[in-house]
Amino acid sequence: MNNKELFEKSLKFVPGGVHSPVRSFKGLHTTPRFINRGHGAKIWDEEGTEFIDFCMSFGPLIHGHQDPEIKEAIIKALENGWTFGACEKYSLELAEYIVNKICFIEQIRFMNSGTEAVMTAVRLARGITGRPKIIKFNGCYHGHLDAMLIKAGSGLAGEAEASSKGVTEKQAGDTLICELGDIDEVKKCFDDHRDQIAAIFIEPLPANNGLLVQQRKFLEDLRALCHKHSALLVFDEVISGFRIGFCGMAGETGVHPDLVTYGKIIGGGMPVGAVAGPRKFMEYLAPLGPVYQAGTLSGNPVAMAAGLVNLKKLTPAAYARLELNSQKIVAIFSDWMQKNGFADYQTLRYGSLFWPISTHDKLSNITQLPTNMNARFYQLFETLLNKGIYLAPNAYEVGFVSLSHGDAIQAELKERLWK
């Protein structure tokens, strides 16, 4: 069956034909590609069409598809069983490796997704502080839990409303929304809701509504405000963790959160999430503390084995190669776009994340995004897709460079672009 036939069949059995909305190619004038396999920096769909992949499963494949050492670890773990629902050494080995290398955490709890990690962090922050409200920022995505499917309201600072049906007004009322970079708005939220705010949640490198790089000073000011008001600072590093250096943005900026959520890379491409922090906070979790969290498949041995090998391969030399790959890839795209009908575009980059966007303005929050970005992106995406280059199929999603996007792939990218 071809892609069109597969999608038509999928629409009969799956809502919208997909298991995650961004895969639907909504708004694009083409059919979702059903991927059959991947290897290195490439994927192939069910029709046998080959693409250079810059989605990379939205981030976890930092070594590329089917890295042989990670694959060997997965196979070896499978030979012993793929789930136990009991204590095992695989999660212990990964926990020890992460905690020993990151100075601001002392314990870590694994689960199965970034959403689950943030859900646990919200509950944990409320349990530690005894306070109901949290602050999040317009444009930061923290998974599809009710407390985070909230957008800015049209009234006072911090006012919020649900961005999804099914989220109650009461749930929305406990999440306060501020604009990225506006420290005065955050201060006003603390003044207006004195002794009610449990935590500030932020992607220290916002990368789910475009790549909206924040000033270090803003993160430092958030840290100071949390200290002043006895609230927790929570970094969502599901995307940036272990990709922007081993210690993520917390290591890059020197701003250390009270709690941090991880995902993606720590599972080597297998389903995973985690919450980490100092012992004094983490031991609020059951069975020691009063904050409940559980999961039958948490600490899945296959994901833990894959994640450990994935992280051990992230040496300083690997990060240096990744940075070089990223610089060259972005330079290639930028040169081609300027000369082939997309001169209104710039390609923003931070480490191995990049984002083509149809403006040359400086961007730090979603109020600055161009109004025509969807229409322009559709043209760019389909042009590149027809050249065998696969971006994430949404104008707001970033691209990912991996260690497999080396010299040979860079040369092939140039050839495909200019053909």
Which residue type does 273 have?
Answer: G
Q: Which of 231, 223, 411 is nearest to 325 (CA)?
A: 411
CB 293 within 8 A of CB 120: yes
Measured distance CA(213)–CA(398) in Å, rounded: 12
First to last CA, the chain: 29
CA distance 142 to 218: 19
Amino acid, res. 50: E
Decide: helix, strand or coil at residue 137. Answer: strand
Q: Which of 300, 306, 388 is nearest to 65 (CA)?
A: 306
Beta carbons of 64 and 73 less than 8 angstroms apart:
no
Q: Which two tokens stand for residue 164?
A: 């999804």
Strand bridging mode 197-202 / 133-138: parallel
- Give the integer Cα–Cα distance in Å for 44 and 53: 9
Report DSSP letters for 362-391, one per residue.
Answer: --SSGGGS-TTHHHHHHHHHHHHHHTTEE-
Residue 34 CB: number of other CB atoms within 10 A?
17
CA atoms of 369 and 144, how far apart (whole Å)? 23
- Known catalytic residues are 141, 236, 264
Rounded CA-CA distance 196/174 in Å is 9
245 in Cβ contact with 314 (< 8 Å) = no
